[in-house]
């Protein structure tokens, strides 16, 4: 076996594909309160954007009509991605979002000690909000 790669200085930035980038930008910024920090090629007609929440970021790109099956053998949809977002103010976040989003799981204390709720974005990506394991 070769030497292990040192990943200490690496940042992971996932990218999700969305069917309507304008609707997704609106959902993540206006409803969830995240920030767009980068548009490509520009903010008038972006093909992808970088979204920031706290110190973390992820990218969203327009779903291609003719996807590259070399990279996406099974097509593209939101069923395989799950965002797990830890917040300090779970009750406040739930109260602010519950009338604006599709709630999959209502706010509840889980057997492992976290209080959580789960929603879907416009493309079906699962987003779960959790407290920081308060007992």
List all residues 6 or more positions away from 91 whose beta carbon is below 8 Å from its beta carbon: 107, 115
**80 DSSP 8-state letter:** G
CA 25 to chain centre: 11
Two structure tokens written together for 135: 């007992």
133 and 84 belong to one structural domain? yes
pLDDT at 94: 96
- Residue-range definition of the domain harbouring residue 130: 79-135
Asked if 59 contacts 14 with a C-beta cutoff of 8 angstroms, the reply is yes
127 and 94 belong to one structural domain? yes
Q: What is the value of pTM for the model shown?
A: 0.79
54 and 91 belong to one structural domain? no
Q: What is the CATH number of the domain that holds 102?
A: 3.30.720.110
Q: What is the CATH number of the domain that holds 15?
A: 3.30.1900.10
Q: Give tens-digit pLDDT for 40-75.
A: 999 999 999 999 999 999 999 887 655 555 555 555
97 and 128 belong to one structural domain? yes
Two structure tokens written together for 76: 């593209």
75 burial level (CB within 10 Å; 0-12, 13-18, 19+): exposed
Confirm whether 71 is domain-assigned.
Answer: no
């Amino acid at each position: 076996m070769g030497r292990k790669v040192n990943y200490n200085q690496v940042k992971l930035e996932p990218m999700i594909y969305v069917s309507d980038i304008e609707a997704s930008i609106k959902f993540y910024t206006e409803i969830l309160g995240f920030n767009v920090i980068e548009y490509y090629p520009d903010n008038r007609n972006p093909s992808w954007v970088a979204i920031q929440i706290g110190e973390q970021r992820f990218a969203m790109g327009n779903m291609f009509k003719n996807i590259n099956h070399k990279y996406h053998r099974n097509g593209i949809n939101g069923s395989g991605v799950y965002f797990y977002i830890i917040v300090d103010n779970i009750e406040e976040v739930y109260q602010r979002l519950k009338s604006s989003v599709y709630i999959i799981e209502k706010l509840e204390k889980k057997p492992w000690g976290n209080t959580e709720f789960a929603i879907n974005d416009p493309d079906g990506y699962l987003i779960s909000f959790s407290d920081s394991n308060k007992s």
